[in-house]
A = this chain, B = another copy of it.
Amino acid sequence: MTDRPAPPSADAGGATEQTGVGGAAGGEPATARGEQTRQLILDTALRLFRERGYAQTTMRGIAKEAGVAVGNAYYYFSSKEHLIQEFYAETGVEHRARAAGVLARETEFAARLRGVLHAGVDTLAPSHEFAATFFKTAAEPTSPLSPFSAESSPTREASIALFRDTLTGSTAKVDPELGDELPELLWLAYLGVVLYWVHDRSPGQAKTRALIDGAVPLIDRLVGLSRLRVLRPVTRDVLGLIRTLRQ
């Protein structure tokens, strides 16, 4: 069980890059062979996560299933948690792809926002069970997996950009001062939806759908109202508070 013959990989020649970024775990592989192994481990891990759940999947199990040694997995991913970072990235890409349709079709802000939020939940849906298990990791402030962390920055910025598209591509007329902050606020609202979704035990997470359908008109109305003269001071206060709180 401990011995294995040489890997049967009939690998195709070798594109040889010599970047030498230095780091191991976390850095990109420098050779084609490395890239291949990395992908193999990652695919195996995400598959097992979905099949057995996060906690039930062991690093030894991943390594065995992928036909490599445990240490090899740690050469590419500095921890079990870091495998999730890749899950985030994949999810983000698929979210944008799913949202593209609605964004091309709709021009009303409410319809666009509703579509983008539903697209996000659609993307996550197949992973609900295992997402609930690992979610706690993302909640830890010091974790690199926190949506607010520096390491999550690329995924986060991409997600905020999606909500910026949602807004700017719409016919909504927004207080320009609010318009600068709104994409980030919408992203925060999306995080709230995901937070609710993770805890949502209703069949098919139907309640999360209800949350989206109920909250979107409220947000839409609120955004519209923000331009009213009477509410300007309130808008100002809220924006001021938000700017103070941003860290």
Please state if A247 and B202 are interface contacts (CB–CB under 8 Å). Answer: yes
For residue A200, which residues in chain B have a CB less than 8 angstroms away from its CB? 247
Shortest CB distance A40–B (Å)? 29
Check B132 against A136 for contact (C-beta < 8 Å). no
Q: Which of B132, B136, B244 contacts A207 (CB 8 A)?
A: B244
Contact of A136 with B137 in the complex, beta carbons under 8 Å: yes
A99 to B199, CA, bound (A): 30
**Which chain B residues border A135 with CB–CB below 8 Å?**
139-141
A5-13, A86-94, A233-241 - the one binding chain B: A233-241
A133: B residues at CB distance < 8 A: 140, 142
Enumerate chain B residues within 8 angstroms of A240, measured Cβ to Cβ: 214
Residues of B within 8 Å of A210, CB to CB, are 241, 244-245
In the assembled complex, the CB of A46 is this many whole angstroms from the nearest CB of chain B, namely 20
Q: Is the CB of A201 within 8 A of B244?
A: no
Is A69 positioned at the interface, with any CB of B under 8 Å from its CB?
Answer: no
The verdict on A211 contacting chain B, using a C-beta distance below 8 Å, is yes
The reply to whether B199 and A148 contact each other, CB–CB distance below 8 Å, is: yes
A44: B residues at CB distance < 8 A: none
**Which residues does A use to contact B, with CB under 8 Å?**
132-133, 135-143, 146, 148, 196, 198-202, 207, 210-211, 214-215, 217-218, 221, 234, 237-238, 240-241, 244-245, 247
